[in-house]
Amino acid sequence: ATKSMNKDEL
Amino acid sequence: MNIFRLGGDLAHLLAIIILLLKIWTTRSCAGISGKSQILFALTFTARYLDLFTNFVSVYNSVMKVVYLAAAYATLYLMYVKFKATYDHNHDTFRLEFLILPAAGLALIINHEFSIIEVMWTFSIYLEAVAILPQLFMVSKTGEAESITSHYLFALGSYRALYIVNWVYRYYSEGFYDMIATLAGVVQTVLYCDFFYLYITKVLKGKKLQLPA
């Protein structure tokens, strides 16, 4: 999938 | 964190500082698109809704606060303090033509259909096109002050460095985010002709003149 979900970037 | 992303964040911070300094020291926002600044403030607001709920690191939280504060400070300077110097006549891009498609697309293409995720996706799509009113204004006025072109160069470099960061993260940790990456490519491509003019003209001490 295109998933990342972990928002550790600005 | 990697040097590409850190470099990107610092380029972004530099751009924001250059803009604030330009407006504050010249006490004028001539040549600056208030509409783009509205879109940036919207972008950060929609993206950092998790500021108090999702702690990543001190660096992450501090930068989010700095970006939000700087965005709203810029709006204050442009629309309140130095309102008289705001160039309404050349800042005419219709914001709804950018906000509505970004919102619509965020509802259709996202990683997860939840409020926080759709707002994040909206901020990603909006940021990709947020510079259009500014580039449109520069093309209408046909030129830009050198300080404004330095601002644009730093701003364009930030997302270009993020693209390198995403390539690096893909090969080093298998991380990828197609939505952020594709929007980042669109965002960076929009600066290409400006980058060309900046490197061929501004760095040679000439003024940034766009072919009318």
- 3-state SS, one letter per residue, for B94-161: CCHHHHHHHHHHHHHCCCCCCHHHHHHHHHHHHHHHCCHHHHHHHHHHCEECHHHHHHHHHHHHHHHH
Among candidates B56, B67, B177 on the partner chain, residue whose Cβ is nearest the Cβ of A4: B177
| Chain-chain contact of B178 with A2 (C-beta, under 8 angstroms) | yes
Q: Determine the average pLDDT of the residues in B125-136.
A: 98
Tokens of B84: 């008289």
Domain boundaries in chain B?
3-209
Is B175 close to A10, i.e. CB distance below 8 A? no
Question: pLDDT value at position A1?
Answer: 43
From the number of C-beta atoms within 10 Å of its C-beta (0-12, 13-18, 19+), residue B44 rates as buried
Q: Which of residues 41-80 of B touch A (CB under 8 A)?
A: 50, 54, 56-57, 60, 63-64, 67
Residue B87's pLDDT band, with cuts at 50, 70 and 90, is very high
Nearest chain B Cα to A8, which residue? B56
Cβ–Cβ < 8 Å for B202, B145: no
Q: Which residues from chain A sit within 8 angstroms of residue B165, using beta carbons? A: 9
Indicate the pLDDT class of residue B6, thresholds 50, 70 and 90: very high
Mean pLDDT for B32-50 is 98
Kindly indicate the confidence band of residue B174, based on its pLDDT and cuts at 50, 70 and 90.
very high
Using 50, 70 and 90 to split pLDDT, how confident is the model at A3? low
- Which of B107, B118, B100, B141 shows the shortest CA–CA distance to B49? B118
Residue B211 — φ and ψ, nearest 5°?
Answer: -60, 120
- Shortest Cα distance from B111 to chain A (angstroms)? 6
pLDDT for B212: 56
Distances (CA, A) of B145 to B26, B206, B207: 12, 10, 7
